[in-house]
Structure formats: C-alpha cells, structure tokens
Chains A and B, each alone.
Chain A
Amino acid sequence: MKVQTARKRLLIWGVLTLLLCLFPAFVSSQYLLRVAALIVFWIGMAGCWNLMSGYTGYVDFGPVAYFGIGSYAAALVMTEGGRSFFLALPVAGCTAALVAFLIGMPTLRLKGAYFAIATFAFAETMKQITLEFDRTFGISFFQGSHGITLPIAPYGNAFFLYCALAVASLVLLAHHWIENSRFGYALKAIHEAEDTAELSGVNTFGVKLTAYAMSAFFLGVFGGIEAYWITYITPADVFSVHKTVQMVIMTLLGGMGTFLGPIVGAVFLTGVSEILGLTFVEYYLILVGMIIVGVILLLPRGIVGTWKERKRLRSL
C-alpha cells in the first residue's frame, strides 16, 4: 500500500506539472502566471527545508544562507564571468552545496536550540560579509548594499514558471526517494531517536550531512532562478530572515516530514498572502503572526498531519 500511494502521489504531481506547463498557453494574464510561478517556487523552497529539517527534526534557521549564496554565485557568473544563465544555475547549486558541506561538518554535531542558533548566525554572517566585504578590503566584488544588477532576461513569467517547476519536481522526487529508501529510514530514525539509530549502525552524521548538502544545492539553484527573475539582488533581500520564516511556516502549516506538507503549506500561504497582502496591506504581518500562533495551538501537526491522524483514527 505504501509504495502504491507514493506512486499515486508522484502521478498526481506529474499531472499537475503537465497542467501547469500548458497553463501559459491558455492564460494570458501575466499576473496569474506570476502567482503560479511564485506558488511553485515556494513549494520547492519549503520542500528544501522539509528535506533536512522536516525529516530529521533538526531545526535549520538559516537555510536562506544557501539561497543567498546561490543568488550571488549565479549573479557573479553572469556579470563578472559573462556566462549564460544555464551555466550559472548548476554553479549556484554546487557552490551552495559545497559551502553547506563545509559548514555542516561542525554545525551538524550540535543539537536542538544550538543547531538552530548556529545556522541562524551563519546566515546573518553571510549577509554581513556580502554587505561589508568590498568596503573593508577596498575592492569591487559583491558591491555591498548597492547590490548587483543582472542582465535582463529575454523571457517572461512563463519561463520562470518552467524553471521553478523543473527544480521543484526534482525536490519532490528527492522526497519520494526519501520516503522509500534506506536513506529516508535513516533520516526518520534520527528524528525518533538519534542515539539508538547510531547504535544500530546508522551513519547518522553522514546521513545528516548528505541531506543538508542536498537541500542546500536546491536552495542555491532557487537563489539563482530568483536572481535572474528579479534581475537585481542585494544582501538584505537574498539573505532576508523572512525567506527562512516563510519556508519554516509553510512546511509546518502543511505538515513536517511529509511529502504533501510543503505543497499544501506553500499553496495555502502564498494564496493567503496574495489575497491578504493586496486587501489588508497594513495588517498583513500581524495576520501572519496570528495564523502562526493559531496553527501551532490548534493544528500542531499541520494540515496534512492532522488529516492523516483523523483518517487513521477513523479506520481503527
């Protein structure tokens, strides 16, 4: 039954992808295309956080570091290197994964709140370094708070919808793999009882590091995509703590450590913020805060988790 439902879910995502691919052919509104691309983009981003933190229970408060590193890597490859976007993307992903590997080595030995604070500190360090590097060393590389302007893309929102779809699909494939492999069992075992897992011969550190670097790779690629989409990046934007918060809240809202969690959470929150953000601009952040508190108090397992629990109880 397990394998079947997993296959069914992939099939559903496949159909959705196909529909979204046809979306630009039927919908001419640039606004709707942009919202669709944004939703898919956030499904992928929340999925990245879920890959590492959702399954292992290690709360990463600095995933935006890898997003920002990807943005800057892609921007530098395209401006300083003069190379194309399609070369910049893999470079962005690999740079982020490499940094994640080096940073993960010491930080993944920490637990609980210490891991959360260390990752947060790393993301803020990266922001401050890109902000102050040029001024401190008297060179022109990251451009400090002026930011970097990228070449303007000759494509519209449809192109970025396809980009986001491709990467988000890869992230979801990784979820599928995690749900059905020894690697996934190892990740979940870390969540349940890390010491016991280690005693049973699971290389917990290696597994954590792999998941961390994998999540960083995809985040880096997303960073590259957004840089090209927005065409202008600054440290305050790409390393913004609000991006981290979005990823965490979407995953939590949907359900941590589940395949559908990030999808449900991203669709819900992006939808809500498009509606609330337009009609209640001034109260938007207060409302988001209330949604967070409400979800934690009323639906602590998230939408998907609560639904699953109900179904299980009914079948008893």
Chain B
Amino acid sequence: MDVLFVQALINGLLLGGVYAAYSAGFSLIFGVMGVLNLAHGELVMLGAFIAYGLFELVRLDPYLSIPIAAVSLFLGGYAIQKFIINRVIEQPHLMSYILTFGLHLILANTAVKLWTHDFRTITTSYSGMNAAFWGLNIPYARLITFFLAVAVVIFLWLFLNRSETGRAIRATAQDKYAARLMGVNVREIYALTFGLGAAVTGMAGASLSPFTIIFPEMGLGYTVVAFCVVVLGGMGYMQGALYGGFALGVVQSLTAAYLSAGISVAVTFLLLFVMLVLRPTGLTGKGIAG
C-alpha cells in the first residue's frame, strides 16, 4: 500500500468521526419525532461561534468551551421544540420540514447581520501541528476532535440505553400513544430530545472549530452532509451515525485524493441518492424504513 492511500484513508476516518458527531443529533431528532431538522447545520454554526467568541474574548481553549456550547444549545433547542415545533408535531411531517427551513433562514441570516459574512478561524498554539511518522501526517487537533466525536456518540448511546429519561425517549420513538398511556409526558420528551440533539450538535460544532473556517452561512453544507451520513448509517439508529460518518468520510477523502475535490461532492450526492433508492434502511439495515 502506498503512502497516499493510507494518508487518504486516515484523513477519511478523522473526517468521518466529525461527521458522525454532528449527524448523531440529526438522527436522534428524526428517529424520535420524524422531524427532518433543516436548521441542523445552524446548530453546528452556533456551537462553532460560541467557541470562537469565547476564544476571542477570554482566550478560552476551544475544547474547553464544549460544555458551555452544550448547555447553551440544550436550552435553545429545548425552547425551540417546546414553543415552536411542538405546535405542529401532530400535523403532517411536511409542516415541520418547512418550519425548520424557516428557522434555518432566520438563524443563518440573523447570524450574518450580527457577525457579517467574514470567514473566521481560531489559531491556537497547537494549530497546524502534526504527528508525523512513516511519511504520514496526522494533525493533533483533528485527532483530539476525532476521539471527542466518538465519545459523544457513545455518550448519547449510553444515555438512551441506560438512563430512565433515555428509556422514555426510546419508548416515545417506538409508540408515542403507548408511551403516553404509560405516563410519559410526550411533549416534554420531545422538547428534551430536541435539546439533547442540539446539545450534541453544538458540542460537535465547538470541537471542530479549531480547524474549520467559521462563518454564518456554513450551516447548510453541514445539514446536507448530515442527511447523507444518517441515510448511510440508517435513520434513527444511533451507532449508524458512526458507520455512516466513517463510510462517507473515507469515500470523500479517497475521491478527493484520486479524482478531484469537486467531484467528491458530486460523489457524495450520488452515493446518497443510490443508497436511498437501493437500501433506504442504511448500510446495516437497522434504520427506520421509509
């Protein structure tokens, strides 16, 4: 195996871990409520901006702002679900798609008003530093983010499977009527679920801020990647976000290395399209069927 291939593979896996982290929340929200959150990328954007703002103001290391991003986005997400999305949750799903698209426009363009179109980066003491061996290069920041991302997905899985609230969330996803009869406050669970999804996504946003270009309109691209990851891994299936993220990251990185970066975007969409047509339940077949 040549170095280029191994390097592309490693890059793909590192990228895939990040993809997995911000797609897990998307998958959770869809799996529990059937809401296709088109404002998902804006949650990543907000997480990244929180890290950027704290870094600029008090020189806080972006990795240390992760808990702050998590708490703020949890509160924001909880409020959005409780006061806005819950009002259309019993209606056809189209309503929630359009509603979240409206939220996307409001969030992204308000951010443009507040922070202008400028591209921003966070330059830390370890920016641009690599672990170099055998002709390979692994940026430290990406490596840290990779492990954090995987930890986030595992944390989410543990929370859903080991805690009482997690049990209520899973019960609501399976059958909201039965859950209601068992004394679960379904609307409250919806609000908690969206808050949790937003918190995880905000954490991902903050943790990728050290090596990403941060700007108010970055969101839509992230939403699209989250679509793709979640479809690959299986909608509503938590561990699927990891498989989907890795698969997409590796495919993108290999096409970028051997064909061109432009074509790798086309390949992403083609993969998404073919996957939906041939196997809508994801690579593992454990996603929610259409």
Contact = CB atoms under 8 A, between A and B. Distances in A.
Interface string A43-60: 000000000000001010
A115 B272 CA distance: 12
A20 interface: no
B113 A113 contact: no
Contacts of A241: 220
The 10 closest A-B pairs by CB, nearest first: A289-B105, A292-B102, A128-B266, A289-B106, A114-B290, A125-B269, A106-B277, A285-B109, A293-B102, A121-B272
Interface string B143-186: 00000000000000000000000000000000000000000000
B92 interface: yes
Most chain A beta-carbon contacts within 10 A, residue among B98, B104, B280: B98
Interface in A258-274: none
Interface in A198-229: none
Chain A residues touching B, majority SS: helix
A314 B224 CA distance: 45
A230 B140 CA distance: 49
B124 interface: no
A117 B263 contact: no
A106 B273 CA distance: 10
B276 A117 contact: yes
A107 B259 contact: no
Contacts of B280: 110, 114
Contact of A296 (B93, B99, B104, B277): B99
Contacts of B266: 125, 128-129, 131-132
A117 B227 contact: yes
A245 B269 CA distance: 19
B265 interface: yes
Interface in A274-316: 282-283, 285-286, 288-293, 296-297, 300
Contacts of A249: 98
Interface of A: 57, 59, 61, 106-107, 109-118, 120-122, 124-125, 128-129, 131-132, 135-136, 241, 245, 248-249, 252, 282-283, 285-286, 288-293, 296-297, 300
Contacts of A121: 227-228, 269, 272-273, 276
Contacts of A128: 262-263, 265-266, 269
B88 A300 contact: yes
Interface residues of B, number: 44
A132 B276 contact: no
B68 interface: no
A300 B91 contact: yes
Nearest to A126: B269
Given A121-B228, A292-B98, 6 more contacts: A111-B290, A125-B269, A132-B260, A286-B113, A290-B106, A296-B88
Interface in B215-264: 220, 224, 227-228, 231, 235, 259-260, 262-263
Nearest to B96: A296
Most chain A beta-carbon contacts within 10 A, residue among B93, B101, B102, B235: B102
A120 B227 contact: yes
A252 B110 CA distance: 24
Contacts of B97: 59, 61, 113, 116
A285 to B, nearest CB: 4
A113 B105 contact: no
